[in-house]
Amino acid sequence: MIKDRKGNIVTTNQGQNRALNSLYNTACGRAVLKVLTAPAVSKAAGAFMDSPLSCPAIRPFIRRSGIDTSQYNMKRFRSYNEFFTRTVKPEMRPVDRMPGHLISPCDSKLTVYPIICSPNPGLGNVFRIKGSYYRISDLIQNEFLARRYDGGLCLIFRLEVDDYHRYCYIDDGTKDGNHFIPGELHTVNPVALRHYNIYKRNSREYTLLHTENFGDVVQVEVGAMMVGRIVNHHSICSFRRGEEKGMFEFGGSTIVLLIEKDIVRMDSDIRRNSAEGVETVVKFGEKIGEKIF
């Protein structure tokens, strides 16, 4: 289930959800997945989406997804990917500038999970989704760094194909280099988690953000089905709150933030929804929590 910030139930992408259920919940569909999740297939799809041949798909997608084009800088796009990575009008995504406010890095559906010490000592620290445990060290492949987040929070921002696919920095600060982890490209739709650990198997890229207000935050961009490219703009650098960090090209995708213990209190609606297994619709730059002073 998905809710907006006012508590209303939101229904999205029903046709896509039915197709994904067929792929992941049938033997025939899972056989097809072996082809669709291969990076080479995503690379080929990406090449098509970069070409002028993909332009006829733009208008039908806008109609089917109900995208409000008045929010974006629209032009004559030269490819589907150019449309997919369109920029938003700044006034449509105002960035909360209060230093103690944690902002969303993107438009997405957000769920927050506590990072706990697993009851199985061999797993280390984990977050739990619907009864299954997911290791932080599997996500970033760095056992030493993962241990720093025991008792903290794991924020999962799931972007769907009709979301705005550019993302920003959550605070002022500096960052380390980007670490790319190759892998497969399963959908980030929750249906995939019944069969595959996408936080261990999908291609992803992470960096350590040294922020002024929220300590050291790990940000992970997770690629997904038909997302061949995670485009981060910077390597080692300083950054400002709301500055664009990067973008995803075609497809759904996910951003994960790891925040250390006793740093942030999430907004009450997000905490309540997450405890009930409900995703919350959040927008690029809006407040989602606040610093614990």
Residues tagged active-site: 107, 253
Angstrom distance (rounded) from CA 130 to CA 151: 19
Tell me if 226 sits within 8 A of 186, measured CB to CB. Answer: no
Q: What residue type is assigned to position 37 of the chain?
A: T
Token output for 47: 């090449």
- 26 half-sphere exposure, CB direction, 13 A CA radius: 9
Residues 83 and 77 sit within 8 Å (Cβ to Cβ)? yes
Handedness of CA 267, 87, 72, 185 (dihedral sign): negative
Percentages of the chain per state (helix, strand, coil), in multiples of 5: 30, 30, 40
Name the residue among 218, 280, 278, 222 with its Cα closest to residue 251.
Answer: 222
Residues 6+ apart with CB under 8 A from 115: 125, 126, 127, 136, 149, 150, 151, 152, 153, 154, 258
Q: Where are the alpha helices (DSSP H) in the chain?
A: 14-25, 27-36, 39-49, 58-65, 80-84, 136-140, 143-147, 198-201, 268-275
Longest Cα separation, the chain? 56
Mention every residue, 6+ apart, whose C-beta is less than 8 A from residue 14.
none
What is the Cα–Cα distance from 166 to 106, expressed in whole angstroms?
A: 7
